[in-house]
Structure 1
Amino acid sequence: MKDFDSNRIYQILGDEFKNIYIVDCEDQRIHTFKETLTLPGFSSCTSYNDAMNQYIDDRVYEKNRDMLRMALSFNSLFSRLEKTEHFNIHYQSKNDSEVHFMYSHFGRVMEDGRLSQIIIGFANEDLDIRRNNIDMFNNALPSNVVKRKVLIVEDNEINREILKETLEDDYDVIEAVNGEEGLNILSQYYKDISLILLDVVMPVCDGFEFLSRQKSDSLLASVPVIVTTGNNSQEDELKCLGLGAVDFITKPYNARIVKSRIDSVIKLRESSMTLAAIEKDELTGLYTRQAFYHHARTFTHFMTEEKFNVVILDVADFKLINGTYGTKKGNEVLVYLSNAFRYYVKNGLLTRYEGDQLLGLFHSKVKMDVERINRNINKIAEEAPIPNIRIKVGIYEDIDTSLSIPIICDRALMAEKSISKDFKTNVAFYTDEMNQKQLAQRQMENDFKSAIANREFKVYYQPKYDVNTENIVGAEALVRWQKPDGTLISPGAFIPLFESDGLVVHLDEYVFENVCQFQKERMENKLPMVPISVNLSRASIHFNDVVEHYVDIVNQKQIPFECVPIELTESATLYSEKILEITDQLVKAGFKLHMDDFGSGYSSLTSLNELNFSTVKLDKSLIDYIDQVRGKKIVQQAIDLGHGLDMKVVAEGVESKEQKDCLKEMHCDMIQGFYYSKPLKQEDFIEKLRA
């Protein structure tokens, strides 16, 4: 934490705050800058989230707590201050049985374009901050700041003048002589009016009728009303409260009380508006995820007799849209989809769940119709701002409301993910089988560390044969997972999972080390050795110091680098400066590089040209069509291309004598596949080498 710049902090906050704290954005710890009264939780070096949660629990009125907790979490605070220099929040606090109106200001300190510190000031509005001066951060109100507008609806001219004289220094006062005129003014200027002072007894349209008509219009009802009355009738007060009034002022007017009440009501309203802004996603206007979680809990607990559904909408390849059309057009698509989502999802809550994912929770007794949903998806896609967007929908129908909201949402997301790569299917429902699959995946992740330690992962070897001599001239190392009970787990079940969560980096290194140990033992025993290639996943390529790790292992085993070639999948080697750097390092260290899966759909001639491969492996998807005229020509051209670039060519997935003979005619160098051998356990592979 750097030393505090006092002048800078006071420039941000002013000097009226009794308590000032600084949060270091790097470690999220609290540092006390100024403390007049000790606040619960706020002590130096405390975690910000812990401090704020304790303060909210101890000092904030219960009805404000959840919203403040959401708005003032470190992540929400950091995100908001990245976009704005400062903001403030007003709330009610209860201390020693007294209710106070509290005010907190949040400002930022930027260093090298990065948010480094958050400045927090706490004050009691009633005692610490000068009224109507709390939005000024440089101790002076700029001359161009527009005053808040207050509408006085009062038929008595003397009373209007008294109120106007009391308020006009601090507010822009608008006058109406009766309720009808007041409603007309309110209809035109409701966006600009901060508060209404309303007399009850008036001709044409009295205070009760005014409140009733205002209440019927949600836009007009958003402006708070303080009723002015001279009869102190409890019955009238209750009636006004029922119609939406927020407070009362009795006649004759006490200037100090009038200004204090008005100020408090306006500040609380503005605070509510600030919190509402934090709740909503700035681009789409939908709830943020955390706000959605909060309201969804209330929604489902309150409506216990309803059946709820969750729908998640995702755009396939949205990054491609941003890359092709630009971010501005991508945002336009998201706004369009949000509006369409609002139209089709009734009786519920909507959120921009993450990136281009939109999620809705709604109640309905009608079973969801897949055909109708598909028609709606097609209509949305047809009318989108750009052509050919593909929309995927995941649904969790008749949800289990006993589950947490995040888990409920995950189930809809699970359904959507199940069809994310399926071009034919656009709608999927969550099933128990999906949950069982996810549970099995979580179990595999949990078991991974112990499986590595207990050597449950077994290395299998699939031989590579010389086309002409039909002798074993190499092999590829593959991995299987054998559980302690003897169950063998296919790599198709765990490799994609470990690739997605990053565990494959450790698995790659485990396999590489095992192969190096195998080669070391053969060399020490003076047994024939063939190169055994080891796969390096995309995640491993980008892992820090991967080359140094692998070089260290080879040096420790004291084996030649040539006996453990590195196989890189075609998709992982799409040309980039990073890939060029890594592959150059591997080759300079002494490794041979093989391009795996060539022709599987990501073929990049640039990668073949720029990256220093010694061998190219033709994918099984090419070999499967070798008996067709066009397929045969493609394979021949691929072999010729490899030889033309001074590379050996391996055909993998060879399953028949016809395929083998055809490849021999084409002068392919090596064959790998079930025609000669399936992947073998180590002891079986050793027997093959002896033969």
Structure 2
Amino acid sequence: MGKSDSDFYLFKGQFLYVSFSLILIVLFGIALFTVKLTANHIVIFSIVLIAQVGLAIYFKFLHQDIVKRLVDTEKNLLDSEKEMKYEAYFDDITKLPNERYLLDKIKENLHVNSFDKAVLVFEIDRLATIKASLGSLYSDRLLSMVAQRLQNQLSSQFIIGKLRNDQFVILIDHYQNHDDVLNFCKQLQKMMETPFEIQYSSLNYSLNIGISFYPKDAESENELINFAQIAIYEARNTPDHISFYETSMSDVRTAKVTLENDLYNALKNNELFLEYQPQVDSVTGEVISMEALVRWQHPKRGLISPGEFIPVAEESGLINPIGEWVLETACYQTKKLQVQLGKPIQIAVNLSLCQLFQENFVQTVQQILEKTELAPQSLQLELTESMTMNTAHLIPILHDLKSLGITLAVDDFGTGYSSLSYLGDLPIDCLKIDCSFVRKIQQSTSSEPLVDMIISMAKHLKLNVVAEGVEEVTQLNYLMKKECDFIQGYLISKPISFEQISNNLCNLQHKVREMITISQFNNTQ
């Protein structure tokens, strides 16, 4: 109801009131001249007049109050409408136009003139890792600062917006050739070279940029954005982090999406299973531990390599439920093997960064240990070396895990980014020498000194050392001579099923002991 409507209804009510009042006054006036009035009549007449005046004043203020309320309500409705429109068309974090707005504006712009146009979709490289390691408040702040820089440094002629998956979009209304677009992309990347100041830290971030063209690649706004997003996946793996859309990319991306969907179903359909690779004591030959390795038996494609599906799991977020399943299954089967053997044996389980930084991960590990009744000291969690870069956030989590009684190892050591100073700060128990170094023992003069250094450093830090990827007797002899603590690789055993390791562990251990004895004899010659 508008103000004019309210005035009409109020006027109508007041008209009836005034008409009724006039009738009463006329009747009392007639009575005044035709009837002999007593004192009671005069009192009644006075009361009526006073009541009429009071009602008149009341109606005046009532009218003003109602009109004010209606005006306020109308203003609130307008404000709510503006807020709803803003929420519908603008991103809450960056204040940039959102996907809905972008699609409308790009569609409108495509038909304004006949110029060729380009759609750029770009993302902050490794933003998912940043969010996992530092939290959403940090990543949201970064997105907001990137948006502000774009608005400050780009001309208002560009349509700039943000998609739901933390990617940005720019529409180039007119370009001469691909080099123009490429140069613009490089300007965008250069724009981000100035460090962002977040939480007292000065940090640099690079952009991955995917480009699609109108009308060459697509003629609809949805396909233009979609194809530019597909090009981003290729850009992540190129030196300059810029990629133009090609038709073949859609096939690759479609295959990846299909694999992701199949992987989601794999967890529900029990298509995943574990294999175990033993680790043996290099002195006694005893199997003291085993590493759990996840495998996928696809119903149509057969066995799919972890190198193919683990990156998809990490990118899609499926790594968390898969990792939890691996951890629980490994602990359960290890406990079962311990009962069968009548002695403790340790299980090593790999972690991803997403798992480690997920909420309540430490509590999840504790619950799994309690549920499977596995002693905490029988579980070792393995981190990749690159995960140890962010020590400020990592160390508290590792200390919480250590407080449970489990052990920690750094996997693939020697290939990542660990600083020796950081290594001394981490509450770890074991280093695993990457198989690329072990493979080159007695083949490359550069590899052996690195192996020697890792073993020596571990000894000084009082850490155990595991050599991965041992495939030849010469490698075993060398590692035993250098007093490497534990050996793992095809020479000892390939990864095998739980049933195989359960049924053949004694035979395997007998074979390994003979091998160790021979190597010890050779090293004394």
Is the alpha carbon distance of 1:544 and 1:392 closer, same or farther for their aligned partners in structure 2, counting shifts above 3 Å?
Answer: closer
Q: Secondary structure at the match of 2:496?
A: coil
Equivalent position amino acid for 1:510 in 2: W
What is the count of residue pairs matched by the alignment? 418
C-alpha change, 1:378 and 1:541, in structure 2 (3 Å) is closer
C-alpha distance after superposition, 1:635-677 (max 9, x if no partner): 2111111111221101223344443333223221122233443
Q: Residue 18 of structure 1: SS of its match in structure 2?
A: helix
Using a 3 Å threshold, how does the CA distance of structure 1 residues 531 and 384 change in structure 2: closer, same or farther?
closer
TM-score, with structure 2 as normaliser: 0.66
Partner of 2:87: 73
Contact 1:311 1:393 in 2 (8 A): yes
Do the aligned partners of 1:598 and 1:617 also contact (CA within 8 Å) in 2?
yes
- 1:236-272 Cα deviation digits (max 9, x unpaired): xxxxxxxxxxxxxxxxxxxxxxxxxxxxxxxxxxxxx
Q: Does 1:360 align with 2:176?
A: no
Whether contact under 8 Å (1:70, 1:290) holds in the other structure is no
2:261 corresponds to 1:451: no
Given that 2:385 and 2:411 are in contact with CA atoms closer than 8 Å, whether structure 1 keeps it comes out as yes
2:292 matches 1:477: yes
Kept in 2, the 8 Å contact 1:312–1:359? The answer is: yes
Counterparts of 1:383 and 1:668 in 2: how far apart (Å)? 49
Q: Of the candidates 558, 561, 567, which is equivalent to residue 376 of structure 2?
A: 561
**1-side partners of 2:360 and 2:448: how far apart?**
42
For residue 419 of structure 1, report the CA deviation from its aligned partner: 2.6
* Identical amino acids, percent of aligned pairs: 26
What amino acid maps onto 1:296 in structure 2?
Answer: I
Q: Is contact 2:217-2:245 (8 Å) kept?
A: no
CA displacement at 1:442 relative to structure 2 = 3.3
Quote the offset at 1:429 in angstroms.
2.5
Contact 1:619 1:652 in 2 (8 A): yes
Contact 1:655 1:673 in 2 (8 A): yes
Deviation of 1:484 (Å): 2.9
**Is residue 312–residue 357 contact of structure 1 (8 Å, CA) maintained in 2?**
yes
Q: CA deviation at 1:395?
A: 2.1
CA-to-aligned-CA distance 1:35-74 (integer Å, 9 cap, x gap)? 799x8xx9xxxxx9xx95xxxxxxxxxxxxxxx7984326
Query: Kindly tell me: are residues 19 and 661 of structure 1, through their superposed partners in 2, closer, same or farther at Cα, counting changes over 3 Å?
Result: farther
Residue 329 of structure 2 corresponds to residue 520 of structure 1: no
Q: Partner of 2:218: helix, strand, or coil?
A: coil
Structure 1 contact 70–291 (Cα < 8 Å) conserved: no
In structure 2, the residue corresponding to 1:515 is in which secondary structure? helix
Give a deviation string over 1:596-639, Cα, whole Å, max 9, x none.
22222221334432332221112234435544334322221111
Paired residue for 1:647?
A: 463
Cα separation, partners in 2 of 1:676 and 1:532, compared to 1, 3 Å? same
Structure 1 residue 296, shift from structure 2 partner: 0.5
> In angstroms, what is the RMSD of aligned CA positions?
4.4
Higher helix share: 2
Distance 2:227 2:359 in 1: 34
Q: 2:217 aligned with 1:399, yes or no?
A: yes
**Which residue does 1:436 correspond to in 2?**
251
Shift of 1:533: 0.6
- Structure 2 residue identity aligned to 1:632: E
Q: Distance in 2 between the 1:392 and 1:453 partners?
A: 34
> Which amino acid in 2 is paired with 1:491?
P
Judging changes above 3 Å, is the alpha-carbon distance between structure 1 residues 588 and 376 closer, same or farther for their aligned structure 2 residues? closer
Give the corresponding residue for 1:350: 159
2:360 matched to which residue of 1? Answer: 545
1:669 aligns with 2:485: yes
State the partner residue of 2:120. Answer: 311
CA distance in 2, matches of 1:390, 1:449: 31
3-state SS of paired residue (1:568): strand
Q: Which amino acid aligns with 1:310?
A: V
Whether the 8 Å contact between 1:315 and 1:357 is mirrored in structure 2 is: no
Whether 1:294 aligns to 2:308 is: no
Distance 1:486 1:358 in 2: 37
Q: Which residue of 2 aligns with 1:165?
A: none
Q: Is the 8 A contact 1:381 1:389 kept in 2?
A: no
- Asked if 1 retains the 8 angstrom alpha-carbon contact of 2:89 and 2:99, the reply is no
Q: Give distance in 2, aligned partners of 1:597 and 1:576.
A: 18
User: Partner of 1:667: helix, strand, or coil?
Assistant: coil
**Could you tell me how far apart the structure 1 residues matched to 2:257 and 2:109 are?**
30
1:563 partner amino acid: S
| AA partner of residue 218 (structure 2) | D
Displacement of 1:75 in angstroms is 7.2
Question: What residue ranges of structure 1 are gaps of 5+ in the alignment?
Answer: 1-14, 21-33, 43-47, 53-67, 81-277, 282-286, 343-347
Tell me, in whole angstroms, the C-alpha distance in 1 between the residues paired with 2:226 and 2:474: 49
Are 1:568 and 1:595, in contact at CA under 8 Å, matched by a contact in 2? yes
> Shift of the alpha carbon at 1:316?
5.8
1:571 matched to 2:382:
no
Q: What is the SS of the residue equivalent to 1:73?
A: helix
CA distance in 2, matches of 1:306, 1:383: 27
Matched, 1:492 2:301: no
Residue correspondence of structure 1 range 111-126 to structure 2 within 5 A: none
Q: Larger C-alpha radius of gyration, 1 or 2?
A: 2
C-alpha separation between the residues in 1 aligned to 2:355 and 2:115?
49
- After superposition, the Cα gap between the structure-2 partners of 1:621 and 1:330, relative to the gap in structure 1 and judged at 3 Å, is farther
Paired residues of 1:567 and 1:593 also in contact (CA < 8 A):
yes
Would the alpha carbon gap of residues 457 and 69 (structure 1) be closer, same or farther in structure 2, given more than 3 Å must change? same
Could you tell which deviates more after superposition, 352-361 or 553-562? 352-361
Corresponding residue number in structure 2 for 1:415: 231
Inter-partner Cα distance in structure 2 for 1:383 and 1:507? 39
Q: Determine the C-alpha separation between the residues in 2 that align with 1:592 and 1:508.
A: 18
* Alignment match, 2:275: 460
Q: Structure 1 CA distance, aligned partners of 2:390 and 2:241?
A: 32
Assess if the C-alpha contact under 8 Å between 1:333 and 1:386 holds in 2. no
Q: What pairs with 1:125-274 in structure 2 (closer than 5 Å)?
A: none
Structure 2 unaligned regions, length at least 5: 1-66, 131-137, 196-203, 508-525
